[in-house]
Amino acid sequence: MQISLKDDLPFISIFLSYAGQATEIYDVLIDTGSVSTVLAADVVATLGITPAPTDELRILRGVGGTEAVFSRIVDFLRIGDFGIPNFEIEIGGMDYGFAINGILGMDFLTQVGAIIDLNTLSLESYRSNTKA
């Protein structure tokens, strides 16, 4: 899958499915410094992913500060022809002052055995058994 650089940061598009509905999400940052995958609340709301009164909020801490998030298990998260079924994502406001719809974290990258090639600007999977 092709990586695009925006302000020298690596971005990619992902496919997300929840409750039988799927969508492509653009402008997702590949972040090997992030433990988890976080997606913007306004983007995933189109799939019906919204906070529920029973959701437990978690606080994420990073270089940009702190953010409250809730989580959902989605049908799948996929990049190109590889992905993970029944994958847990975190959802937050993601108001970082620039266009970003999500962060693809190490939880996904390690499970698929991601190979990030900065010479060819591509992301591939080392594992062939990660079809979603």
Burial-class residue 128 by CB neighbours within 10 Å (0-12, 13-18, 19+).
exposed
Q: Residue 69's closest CA among 48, 43, 90?
A: 90
Is residue 130 over pLDDT 70? no
User: How high is the pLDDT of residue 131?
Assistant: 55
Task: Report residue 131 as tokens.
Answer: 């079809």
Q: What is the pLDDT of residues 5-64, one digit of tens each?
A: 999 999 999 999 999 999 999 999 999 999 999 999 999 999 999 999 999 999 988 777
Residue percentage of the chain with pLDDT more than 90: 80
pTM of the model: 0.91
| Top CATH class, 4-125 | mainly beta
Domain parsing of the chain, residue ranges? 4-125
Is residue 128 over pLDDT 80? no
